């Protein structure tokens, strides 16, 4: 039987609002053409996947491909993404040696990433504090999908603190464009004070990091971020929150009518300081820190309640020597996670009886809407890009070094049993990962920008 469908996948289709048993997804010309239940239509390529889960390709809202020079780059980050069922990454602007704070920097980064990318990519912009908000409009015109700032300063040039008045200026400039302002949520003065106390105490083991950044350092910053959004009308986004109180604050601001979104990272839903900190040491150092198991479970309750907007990785692949120093505070902050984001979330959700629909919402639909790319991304909906992830019930013990898809041979998730394996990923209907190897070649990924109307609006404002 002839068919005009290029690809049909049959299995359990996971949508944001329903799980379709004995469902199918049909693809034509790189886009979703049909979703159905029952006997699947014929196609040039057809896979009957049985108990497999068919999900929309994940959009990882927070990736750092270029934080360490001569380390990961897009050649590796997008390879890990393809193997993990992540079909679009949104890359952070804190590139070592070239802060993405102008239209020229955005254009350089697109030109740099495009020949390497195996999955699609969008970009954040930020500012140089010495220039203020002057270049925000030009970065919107260049195609950034969001902006990233920080209330804490790690480095005065590469990762600077943006003080309150300047943050207000930035939010004011962004508000007319419809884009969101994402902010790293740690109060600089509070962190500095607690860091000084820990250094004076002589504590240098795994405990030092969490003690130097207690929950109050996050929630103080979150209040500042949302109040700035409320004052300017700019969508305010907390890019990673490790404590339940932060999600309560986000829900309260939304109830008052403000655009207040909040992101949880997969490490806060998986790793517990009291269980994993002693074992991992510097490999568990992340800003904000991972928290005790009781807090992890509170975050899952917020997932179930719908107060979490997005789930991401905050992926960064530091070389191992930067994560294994005896002094906990001397280690680099951040961990890789692209290859296991989707399986880890599905595992955690099923263990707690949370519907799989949340996987489609929090890792595809909501990120696409947040970055204003939901005209083409984020759902198994006719007309959208055929970005698809397939999971099969094949338990495995995860080892980052075993797959060959990661630039580093370590992961904080090494040794975790994953009940589901990524068996395939498709980007715009083309195979990116076949369950054994990444088959997408460098350069097949495309730059994704928000709808043109936003850029025009920004240009008119300028």
| Distance, CA of 186 to CA of 325 (rounded, Å) | 24
Averaged pLDDT, 371-392: 98
pLDDT at residue 4, as a whole number: 87
> Cα Rg for the chain, rounded, in angstroms?
21
Task: Specify the pLDDT at position 453.
Answer: 47
Task: Please state, as a whole number, how many other Cβ atoms lie within 10 Å of the Cβ of residue 375.
Answer: 12
Mean pLDDT in the chain? 95
Question: Where are the strands (E) in 268-420, listed by range?
Answer: 310-312, 388-392, 396-397, 417-418
The answer to which of 22-26, 58-62, 451-455 has the lowest mean pLDDT is 451-455
d(C-alpha 355, C-alpha 357), whole Å? 5
pTM of the predicted model over 0.85: yes
Classify residue 51 as exposed, middle or buried by CB count within 10 Å of its CB (0-12, 13-18, 19+). exposed
Cα torsion 8, 9, 10, 13: sign: negative
* DSSP three-state, residue 389: strand
Report the pLDDT value the prediction gives residue 452, as an integer from 0 to 100.
Answer: 59
Instruction: Give the residue from 360, 338, 336, 347 showing the smallest Cα distance to 397.
Output: 347
Predicted local distance difference test score (pLDDT) of residue 156: 73
Is 461's pLDDT higher than 60?
no
Mean pLDDT of 443-454: 86
Residue 355 CB-density burial (10 A; 0-12 exposed, 13-18 middle, 19+ buried): middle
pLDDT of residue 54: 98
Instruction: Tell me the DSSP string of 87-142.
Output: EEEEE-S--TT----SHHHHHHHHHHHTTT-SSEEEEEE---TTTTTTTHHHHHHH
Tell me how many degrees the CA angle 123-30-394 measures, rounded to the nearest 5: 85
CA 58, 61, 67, 69 torsion: positive or negative? positive
Domain extent listing, the chain: 7-55+384-433, 57-370
Measured between alpha carbons, how far is 264 from 246 in angstroms, rounded to an integer? 10
Buried b / exposed e over 430-456, threshold 16 CB at 10 Å, is: ebbbeeeebbbeeebbbbbbbeeebbe
pLDDT per residue over 288-345, tens digit each?
Answer: 999 999 999 999 999 999 999 999 999 999 999 999 999 999 999 999 999 999 999 9
In the numeric block, the tokens 């007319």 are attached to 176
Looking only at the bridges linking them, the beta strands covering 7-14 and 31-37 are unpaired
Residue 257 and residue 279: Cα distance in Å, rounded? Answer: 43
pLDDT of residue 454: 58
What's the CA gap between 273 and 266, in Å, rounded? 14
State percent of the chain over pLDDT 90.
94
CATH class label, 7-55+384-433: mainly beta
Residues 447, 90: Cα–Cα separation, whole Å = 10
pLDDT at 267: 98
Task: Give the confidence band of 155 by pLDDT, cuts at 50, 70, 90.
Answer: confident
The CATH architecture that domain 57-370 belongs to is Alpha-Beta Barrel (3.20)
CB count within 10 Å of CB 108 equals 14
pLDDT at 84: 98
Residue 52: what pLDDT? 98
Helices (H) and strands (E) in the chain, counts: 16, 17
Say which range, 14-28, 149-163, 173-187, has the weakest mean pLDDT: 149-163
Is pLDDT above 60 for 459? no
> Distance between CA atoms of 188 and 202, rounded to whole angstroms?
22
Residue 61 pLDDT: 98
pLDDT of residue 417: 98
- For tokens 């220039």, name the residue: 131
Q: What percent of the chain has pLDDT over 70?
A: 97
Distances 40 to 1, 14, 24, 46, 270 between C-alpha atoms, Å: 12, 16, 6, 9, 37
CB-based contacts of 318-325 (< 8 A; 24+ apart in sequence):
318/67, 318/68, 318/71, 318/408, 319/68, 319/71, 319/408, 320/408, 320/409, 320/410, 322/68, 323/282, 323/283, 323/285, 323/410, 324/281, 324/282, 324/283, 325/282
In this predicted structure, what is the pLDDT of residue 458? 46
pLDDT of residue 11 exceeding 50: yes
Q: Which of 196, 302, 294, 199 is nearest to 246 (CA)?
A: 302
pLDDT tens, residue by residue, 100-143: 999 999 999 999 999 999 999 999 999 999 999 999 999 999 99
At 254 the three-state DSSP class reads helix
Give tens-digit pLDDT for 168-219.
999 999 999 999 999 999 999 999 999 999 999 999 999 999 999 999 999 9
Structure tokens at 343: 């399986």
- Residue 460 predicted with pLDDT over 50: no
């Amino acid at each position: 039987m002839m068919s005009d469908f290029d690809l049909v996948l049959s299995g359990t289709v996971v949508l944001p609002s329903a799980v379709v048993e004995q469902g199918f997804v049909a693809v034509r010309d790189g886009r979703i053409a049909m979703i159905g239940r029952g006997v699947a239509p014929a196609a040039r390529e057809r896979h009957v996947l049985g108990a497999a889960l068919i999900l929309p390709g994940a959009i990882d809202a927070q990736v750092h491909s270029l934080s360490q020079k001569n380390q990961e780059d897009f050649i590796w980050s997008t390879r890990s993404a393809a193997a993990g069922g992540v079909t679009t990454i949104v890359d952070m602007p804190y590139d070592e040696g070239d802060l993405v704070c102008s239209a020229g920097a955005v254009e350089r980064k697109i030109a740099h990433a495009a020949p390497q990318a195996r999955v699609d990519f969008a970009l954040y912009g930020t500012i140089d504090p010495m220039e203020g908000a002057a270049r925000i409009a030009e970065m919107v015109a260049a195609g950034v999908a969001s902006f990233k700032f920080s209330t804490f300063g790690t480095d005065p040039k590469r990762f600077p603190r943006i003080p309150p008045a300047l943050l207000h200026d930035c939010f004011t400039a962004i508000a007319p464009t419809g884009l969101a302002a994402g902010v790293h949520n740690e109060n600089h003065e509070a962190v500095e004070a607690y860091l000084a106390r820990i250094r004076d105490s002589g504590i240098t083991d795994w405990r030092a990091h969490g003690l130097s950044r207690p929950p109050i350092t996050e929630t103080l910053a979150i209040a500042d971020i949302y109040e700035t959004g409320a004052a300017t009308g700019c969508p305010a986004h907390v890019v990673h929150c490790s404590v339940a109180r932060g999600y309560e604050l986000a829900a309260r601001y939304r109830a008052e009518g403000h655009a207040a979104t909040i992101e949880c990272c997969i490490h806060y839903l998986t790793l517990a300081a009291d269980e994993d900190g002693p074992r991992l040491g510097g490999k568990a150092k992340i800003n904000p820190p991972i928290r005790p198991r009781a807090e992890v479970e509170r975050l899952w309750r917020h997932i179930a309640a719908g107060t979490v907007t997005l789930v991401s990785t905050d992926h960064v692949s530091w070389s191992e020597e930067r994560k294994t120093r005896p002094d906990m505070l001397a280690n680099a902050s951040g961990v890789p996670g692209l290859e296991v984001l989707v399986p880890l979330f599905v595992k955690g959700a099923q263990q707690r009886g949370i519907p799989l629909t949340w996987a489609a919402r929090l890792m595809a639909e909501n990120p696409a809407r947040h970055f204003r790319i939901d005209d083409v991304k984020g759902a198994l909906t006719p007309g959208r890009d055929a970005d698809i992830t397939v999971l099969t019930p094949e338990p495995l013990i995860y080892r980052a070094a075993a797959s060959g898809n990661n630039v580093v041979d370590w992961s904080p998730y090494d040794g975790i049993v994953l009940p589901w394996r990524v068996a395939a990923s498709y980007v715009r209907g083309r195979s990116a990962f076949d369950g054994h190897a990444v088959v997408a070649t460098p350069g097949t990924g495309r730059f994704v920008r928000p709808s043109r109307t936003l850029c025009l609006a920004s240009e008119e404002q300028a």
